[in-house]
Amino acid sequence: MKYLRDQIWSRIPIDDFRSRFFVETYIEKLSVYTPHFSQSRLMNLFSSCSELLVYIEEYSNNEKNAGYLFSALDEIDSCFSTDVIAQEILIS
């Protein structure tokens, strides 16, 4: 993880550690160098479906891209399983 140097933090008028903790945690969660199991989920059900549509088009141009379809479907399944509102709308 990449930390901001203490010299930077000492110039920012912060009275307690909570702001620094938030910023450094935020940076770590969004960093591409953080292991995938510790990263924050940046996609929701709608963005996962949009991504799948892009992969379907790529698949129609080149069948070697079929693996992307499966990973996108897994992502949609994962997003749907945690989105109680989408479940209520689609299952009801």
Q: Supply the range of the domain harboring residue 32.
A: 6-38
53 and 34 belong to one structural domain: no
Does residue 54 fall inside a structural domain?
A: yes
pLDDT, tens digit (0-9, with 9 covering 90-100), for 37-76: 655 566 788 888 998 999 999 999 988 888 889 988 998 9
Report the domain count for the chain.
2
28 and 51 belong to one structural domain: no
Pairwise CA distance, residues 2 & 32, whole Å = 11
Pairwise CA distance, residues 25 & 72, whole Å = 27
Does residue 64 fall inside a structural domain?
A: yes
pLDDT at 90: 85
DSSP state for residue 38 in the 8-state scheme: G
* pTM for this entry: 0.55
32 and 49 belong to one structural domain: no
50 and 72 belong to one structural domain: yes
